[in-house]
Amino acid sequence: MGDDVVVQILSRLPAKAVLRCRAVCRSWRRITTTAYFVAAHSRRRPLQLLGYTGLVVDSSSSPYSYVFTVTSVVPAFCDGDDAAGCRILLRHNMRVSLRGSCDGLLLFERKTGGGAAAPTTACSSATRRRGSWSICRRRRTPRRVGVTVGDTVYWGRRQTDDRGQMSAFDTLSETFRRVAPPPPVSHADEGPMFDMHGALAMTAMSSTEPYLDVWIAAAAAAGGENWVRLLRVELPPGHYYSGEVKPHGYGKAVLDDAGVLLVAMNGWPSFLYDTKGRRMVVSCDISLEESHDYHETKLRSFCSQMHSLFVTDMWV
């Protein structure tokens, strides 16, 4: 069998079985240790939602009274050896915050007082790299990261801009353009956007109704977007903003290959919704301060290794 076929077979295995395959022969060993293989394996892992939370603890041994955790919400449909539900991926008592993730890479920012320059660090769980590195220093929290759909990056309306429009950046022509939001959705109801099988989708939650709507933009020939309401998800009590002021535009929604939508609005309980079966899968009580989508790979002893990376790097 050719290497490409072997990659396709072995990337379908759970991490433990892949480790056993590394002890089969030299050729399998070579194949399963390439960065290409690890990335392919990682992409087949279930999509998770990572959230960053600070918990108050009573600790006399630590100078900090908070424990910061990176918690993972895993869809119920896992094919691997993960249990459904939530679990804590990382726990630390240092003030860092999770800024992003991409293919097994986690990006942290160390929090310092008074808005001073903070080093940003990345920890890799997907590659075999043991080190971590400082990516950049910056002074201000960046603008919200846009949602990439195909060749275009989209941003929602700005908080203060009531009559404003969304913006889109075409990465091929390198041009910005304005995009009209779904007409009935007011800027205050606008939720996180996500890539729905190649189309731009936007979530919307009103403060008065227990629903989350999913709007999808079919790109019209003229370049404008034609919005259609695709789904209306009824939310359980406690999952919507009944009359309260909600933070605008924060949160995260992602759709995995199996059609499970993960929604986390920062500071509110998260949930998973099956868009094919049209039913709520899991709603979990933890509320996440920041959330990111993530494919974990356990091909390296991920938690302990990252923990130590994390500690050393933070204090360098």
Binding site for another protein (CB under 8 A): 1-2, 4-5, 8-10, 12-14, 16-17, 19-26, 28-29, 300-301, 305
Give the shortest CB-121-to-another protein separation in angstroms. Answer: 22
Residues 6+ apart with CB under 8 A from 109: 96, 97, 99, 118, 119, 120, 121
Any idea what the Cα angle at residue 124 is, between residues 121 and 127, rounded to 5°? Answer: 145
Residue 60 Cα distances to 64, 90, 93, angstroms: 9, 21, 13
Residue (165 or 305) nearer to another protein, CB = 305
Query: Minimum Å distance from CB 108 to another protein?
Result: 23
Q: Which helix (H) or strand (E) holds 30?
A: helix 26-33
Q: What angle do CA 122, 252, 125 make, to 5 degrees?
A: 25
Select 30 or 87, whichever has its Cβ closest to another protein: 30
Determine what percent of the chain falls in helix, strand and coil, rounding each to the nearest 5.
Answer: 15, 40, 40
Distance CA 34, CA 21 (A): 13
Report the residue number, 146 or 259, with the smaller CB distance to another protein.
Answer: 259
Q: How does DSSP classify residue 101?
A: E
Shortest gap between Cβ of 24 and another protein (angstroms)? 5
For 28, other C-beta atoms within 10 Å of its C-beta total 17
Smallest separation, CB 51 to another protein (Å): 27
Phi/psi at 215 (5° precision): -105, 140
CB of 254 to another protein, least distance (A): 23
Task: Please identify, using beta-carbon distances, which residue of 16 and 138 lies nearer to another protein.
Answer: 16
- Concatenate the DSSP letters of all residues of 3-58 into one string: HHHHHHHHTTS-HHHHHHHTTT-HHHHHHHHSHHHHHHHHHHSPEEEEEEEEEE--
Beta bridge partners of 269: 287
Q: Of 8 and 148, which CB lies nearer to another protein in the complex structure?
A: 8
Smallest distance from the beta carbon of 13 to another protein, in angstroms? 5
Is the distance from CB of 315 to CB of 110 less than 8 angstroms? no
Comparing CB distances to another protein, the nearer of 1 and 245 is 1
Report in angstroms how near the CB of residue 18 gets to another protein at its nearest.
Answer: 9
Q: Minimum distance from CB of 55 to another protein (Å)?
A: 29
Dihedral sign for Cα atoms in the order 123, 192, 163, 179 = positive
* Maximum separation of any 2 CA atoms in the chain, in Å: 64
What is the C-alpha R_g of the chain? 21
